[in-house]
Amino acid sequence: MGLSVVDGAVEPIARGSGLHPDLVRMALCLIGSYPLCAVLKRLPDSRRQLKDVYIIGIALFYLVGVFSLWAGLRTLLISIGVTYATTKYLRGNPFMPWIVFLFVMGHLFTSHIEAQWYQVDYEASLSDITGAQMVLCMKLTAFAWNVHDGTLADNLLSDFQKERRVKEQPKLLDFLAYCLFFPSLLTGPSYDYREFEQWIDLSMFDVTTAEERRKRKNRAIPRSGRVASRKLVEGLLWIGLWTQSANYIYTEYAQSSKFMSHLFVVRVVYLYLLGFTYRLKYYGAWTISEGACILSGLGFNGRDKNGKYRWDRVKNVSPWRIETAQNTYVYLGAWNMNTSAWLKNYVYLRVTPRGRKPGFRSTLSTFVTSALWHGTRPGYYLTFVTGAFYQSLGKLFRRNLRPIFMRPDGTPGPYKPYYDAVCLVVTQLSFGYICHPFVLLDLAASLDMWKTVYFFVHVVIAVVLFLFHGPFKKSVTGYLKSLQPKPLKPSDQVKSDTQRLKEMRKEIEQLSAPAALGVPNPDFEHFDDDLQEAISEFEQLKEDLSVEIQNLKKYQQQQRTKKND
């Protein structure tokens, strides 16, 4: 229970809407962030400490006054305090970011266990502190790496790392405001400390002109009310559609015996529609949260090529791209974007030794991190593992099937639209199947749901992988290659090379995409090399341990000899 005045507002809305009170509280915080951000934006540009105190005060009101999460507040402050102290006193220590990573991830994992196994009334769809802690985990682990990068020479850093590095330890008040930034406190999005610092010291807005500032009473932050309002309206529409769709499409029906009386195709389509209703809630929450960040100014991202302001810095989801995606790359790349970026930049690339390409160790580490970050429920792992294998099919189809529908010069052939339409339907129906364990969480319930459609996606994955990696690999790929257009004559080749080069660049970009949905894109063609790399590393570790053991035995023998003498 929160403050009495908050409870008095929540209960009538919950009864009238049929929503759980905690969901109403979440909605009040998300929508309430808009007027609060309007005030934040208008605080004097020079009063940095005032902004910090305002941000922290609103965050405390959300956690304690609205949700009464006293223990949750303590949990967040523990992670914040340990991270701040570690980055301050172990600055320059190469193990510092790993210490922070292990502590923060371990702290989050224990919270998951406590919430999911020791709370009798736990309900994953409702609010507890783990949601805010997951967002905070991304911020803190990224901050530790940014501080570490601040101690390294430029030639050891990528352009991304140079932009995000933190060269000086921030003041505690600034750090608390970064960690507890109220528009993104409960649902995200996450962002790096340098972005927050550039926002609060106004250097983010250096691209604006003096004339533009005069029109805004010399305020540095450009007007963003119209853009933010559109995000709010869009988010409310998603939420409204979600609440109404529950009256017509719901999980209980898919779990009933009557559901099996329908045709297989009908059941598959129903699971797709059910998956769509799951996504609506996330579309709404993330879009509203993004709009609040835009209103505060944090969503500012410079200018586009036409000179207009961009407000997509903290964009976390693109519903249109997801619902019209024709392949896994587009689908997963438009979902939970900030988490995917965090996994790529602060896990996948960080476990890779400098000067080497990411391999088996990077892939495995990213997968484990994403799984532990989400929680302990079996449903997460079913979705992630299935998603990882399904992603691999996209690469196979793009290399072997797609060229059949292209002209020799690399432009789309007459049947390419039909190929795209089939890809759209297959992608959407497949993810309508894959996503259910992510929501159901329970192992038995997830398998029962898949059983209603005969595990058809898993069957397709198994068949495709067998065809392209089994004993008939050469026959299958050879036959598909024979269906592809014949090469151009040498005289026409030069003309097509430019178009093909563009296609290759796009293909390289897609096939080397970062981890999405928490799962790196697996490359089965190089699996043997990755496995051999892992075995070599393990053998080297055994050899090192053997040497250490021998040295220890020699030392003990020397000590015994001295003692006997």
Q: Is a pLDDT exceeding 80 seen at residue 349?
A: yes
On the question of pLDDT at 460 being above 70, the answer is yes
pLDDT of 527 above 50: no
- Mean pLDDT within 536-547: 60
Identify which has the larger pLDDT, 119 or 280: 280
Cα 484 vs. chain centroid, distance in angstroms? 37
Q: What's phi and psi for 33, nearest 5 deg?
A: -65, -25
Task: Provide mean pLDDT across the span 492-507.
Answer: 60
pLDDT of 511 over the 80 cut: no
Integer Cα distance of 361 and 393 in angstroms: 22
Q: SS3 of 477, please?
A: helix
pLDDT at 524: 45
Give me the residue label for tokens 């207009």.
308
Burial of 366 (0-12, 13-18, 19+ CB in 10 A): buried
Tens of pLDDT, residues 235-248: 999 999 999 998 89
CA distance 432 to 288: 24
Contacts of 379 (CB under 8 A, 6+ apart): 436, 437, 438, 439, 440, 441, 442, 443, 445, 446
Would you give the DSSP letter of residue 223?
Answer: P
Paired strand residues for 303: 309
Q: How far apart are CA 142 and CA 501, in angstroms?
A: 36
**Which of 312-316, 365-369, 437-441 is predicted with the least confidence, judged by mean pLDDT?**
365-369
3-state secondary structure of 515: coil
CA gap 296, 221 in Å, rounded: 8
- Asked if 197 is an active-site residue, the reply is no
Mean pLDDT along residues 453-469: 96
Residue 550 reports pLDDT greater than 90: no
Per-residue model confidence (pLDDT) at position 519:
47
pLDDT at 523 over 50: no
- 103: CB partners within 8 A, 6+ apart: 79, 82, 83, 86
Contact 232, 8 (CB under 8 A): no
Q: Indicate the domain borders of the chain.
A: 1-201, 218-317, 341-522
290 an active-site residue? Answer: yes
Query: What is the rounded average pLDDT of the residues 281-299?
Result: 97
The pLDDT of 179-186, averaged and rounded, is: 97
Per-residue model confidence as pLDDT tens digits over 418-444: 999 999 999 999 999 999 999 999 999
Tokens read off for 320: 């249109």
Whether 246 and 277 have beta carbons less than 8 Å apart is answered as: yes
Q: What is the pTM of this model?
A: 0.85
Contact call for residues 351 and 365 (beta carbons, < 8 A)? yes
Instruction: Give pLDDT, residue 500.
Output: 60
Instruction: Check pLDDT > 80 for residue 474.
Output: yes
Chain length of the chain: 565
Model pLDDT, residue 216: 65
Name which of 320-324, 330-334, 367-371 the model is least confident about.
Answer: 367-371
Task: Give me the mean pLDDT over the 296-320 stretch.
Answer: 93
Does residue 201 contact residue 177 with C-beta atoms inside 8 Å?
no
**Average pLDDT for the chain:** 87
Axis-axis angle for helices 225-245, 21-41 (nearest 10)? 170
Active-site residue among 52, 174, 290, 530? 290
Q: What percent of the chain lies above the pLDDT cut of 70?
A: 83
Residue 225 pLDDT: 94
* Alpha carbon separation from 487 to 403, 474, 492, 497, 512 (Å, rounded): 12, 20, 10, 11, 26
Give the pLDDT confidence of 148-166 residue by residue, as tens digits: 999 999 999 999 999 999 9
Q: Is the pLDDT of residue 493 over 60?
A: no
Coil/strand/helix, residue 412: strand
pLDDT of residue 280 exceeding 90: yes
- What average pLDDT does the segment 380-408 reach? 88
Active-site residue (options: 149, 174, 192, 530): 149
Residue 197 backbone dihedrals phi, psi, to 5 degrees: -65, -40
Q: What is the pLDDT of residue 310?
A: 94
Place of tokens 């019209």: 324
Alpha-carbon gap, residue 91 to 561, rounded angstroms: 43
Least confident of 11-20, 322-331, 520-529: 520-529
Q: How many CB atoms lie within 10 A of CB 216?
A: 12
Contact assessment for residue 361 and residue 369, using Cβ atoms and an 8 Å cutoff: no
Please tell me whether the peptide bond between 522 and the residue prior to it is cis, using omega within 30 degrees of 0: no
Does 261 score more than 90 pLDDT? Answer: yes
Query: Residue 16 — very low, low, confident or very high, per pLDDT cuts 50/70/90?
Result: confident
Q: Distance between CA atoms of 371 and 388, rounded to whole angstroms?
A: 12
User: Could you confirm whether 374 is annotated as catalytic?
Assistant: yes
Predicted local confidence at residue 513, as pLDDT:
52
| Residue among 107, 148, 374, 436 flagged as catalytic | 374
Is-contact 27 176, C-beta < 8 A? no
Per-residue pLDDT reduced to its tens digit, 67-108: 999 999 999 999 999 999 999 999 999 999 999 999 999 999
